[in-house]
């Protein structure tokens, strides 16, 4: 049974994430200590105790999610003998989850991944002034229809408006991103086209749109200064939905990813077409696990984030 290991993105964070792992496993504590040291911040305390509003800030949520995912990886390595180079057909991550996937596969050190994600979160937040951008979930719609709807909304919103599909999450779920007026126009249009639900998301910036270009430029500079090793296992990239192992190409794709659509549905379908039947989500939440069967009919998904789920993972080996 071929497996892919997948890593969650922003929105999966919650106060208490990683706390039980840290209490149960020394290797998990080591990961959290390494991230705290890299960031010169007790991020682990914020993760374990809150406050939620501070954890949700993009600059905190991104490295926190990576830290939790890598703590799970280290625990599985120690407790089950997990070796991604032998046990995984692919790794993939949703948006910031690509950094988690790459760190898990040995392309980045955990410290470098933490520092890059802190910078990424800060740069994405600064790219657009508060209140000028927005994102909306459109439910019950396929990607092609979403693209057409976003283009119509951008046109109707007028000069300077931006509206594009940021995430193709699969299962009839796409996310629009852009200037606030254009995204609100997309919601209005969606209601006339039979979209099941269209709602503004509680996010602080219009991620994965051209409005993030200043953040892409900041990441290009930062990534140029960081060593990227060939990953032990191919990453299925958000931007292309195809596998990549070359460090130069990975660097290029991570820059492009800031403004490009997260092609998650296509990524999952690609992995399934290569024979993957089990998708293991490593880290906080169960968002990606929930999408598995909605995208790939005969596949299974499991999530590992707490000690009991480590034991459940052992049981399927």
Helix (H, G, I), strand (E, B) or coil at 52: helix
Catalytic, out of 12, 44, 69, 95: 95
Which of 56, 93, 59, 55 shows the shortest CA–CA distance to 201?
56
> Which tokens hold the place of 141?
């719609």
Catalytic, out of 208, 209, 234, 267: 208
234 given a catalytic annotation: no
**CA distance linking residue 140 with residue 103, whole number of Å:** 34
Instruction: Extract the runs of DSSP E, i.e. beta strands, from the chain.
Output: 2-7, 90-93, 133-139, 163-170, 173-179, 197-200, 235-236, 243-244, 276-282, 300-304
φ/ψ of 108, rounded to 5, equals -120, 150
**CA distance linking residue 73 with residue 79, whole number of Å:** 10
40 given a catalytic annotation: no
Is the Cα torsion angle 235, 255, 64, 115 positive or negative in sign? positive
State the number of CA atoms in the 13 A half-sphere of 74 facing the CB: 23
Partners of 133 in the beta sheet? 179
Task: Check if the beta carbon of residue 247 is closer than 8 Å to that of residue 228.
Answer: yes
**CA distance linking residue 81 with residue 151, whole number of Å:** 48
To the nearest 10°, report the CA torsion of 39, 104, 9, 144. Answer: 140
**CA distance linking residue 114 with residue 61, whole number of Å:** 11
The CA–CA distances, whole Å, from 196 to 112, 148, 173 equal 41, 17, 10
Q: Which residues are catalytic?
A: 95, 208
């Amino acid at each position: 049974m071929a497996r892919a290991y997948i890593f969650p993105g922003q929105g999966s964070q919650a106060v208490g994430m990683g706390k039980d792992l840290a209490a149960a496993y020394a290797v998990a504590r080591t990961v959290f200590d390494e991230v705290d040291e890299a960031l010169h911040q007790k991020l682990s305390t914020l993760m374990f105790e809150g406050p939620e509003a501070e954890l949700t800030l993009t600059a905190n949520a991104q490295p926190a999610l990576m830290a939790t995912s890598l703590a799970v990886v280290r625990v599985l390595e120690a407790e089950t003998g997990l070796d991604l180079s032998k046990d995984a057909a692919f790794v993939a991550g949703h948006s910031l989850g690509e950094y988690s996937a790459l760190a898990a596969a040995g392309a980045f050190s955990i410290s470098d991944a933490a520092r890059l994600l802190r910078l990424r979160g800060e740069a994405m937040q600064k790219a657009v002034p508060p209140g000028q951008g927005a994102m909306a979930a459109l439910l019950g719609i396929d990607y092609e229809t979403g693209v057409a709807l976003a283009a119509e909304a951008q046109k109707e919103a007028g000069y300077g408006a931006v509206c594009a599909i940021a995430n193709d999450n699969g299962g009839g779920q796409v996310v629009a991103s852009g200037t606030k007026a254009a995204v609100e126009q997309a919601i209005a249009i969606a209601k006339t086209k039979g979209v099941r639900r269209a709602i503004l998301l509680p996010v602080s910036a219009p991620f994965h749109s051209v409005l993030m270009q200043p953040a892409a430029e900041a990441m290009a500079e930062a990534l140029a200064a960081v060593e990227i090793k060939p990953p032990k296992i191919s990453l299925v990239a958000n931007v292309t939905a195809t596998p990549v192992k070359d460090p130069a190409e990975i660097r290029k794709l991570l820059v492009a990813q800031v403004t490009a659509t997260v092609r998650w549905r296509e990524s999952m379908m690609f992995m399934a077409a290569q024979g993957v039947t089990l998708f293991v989500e490593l880290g906080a939440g169960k968002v990606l696990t929930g999408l598995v069967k909605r995208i790939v009919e005969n596949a299974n998904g499991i999530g590992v984030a707490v000690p009991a789920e480590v034991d459940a993972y052992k049981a399927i080996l």
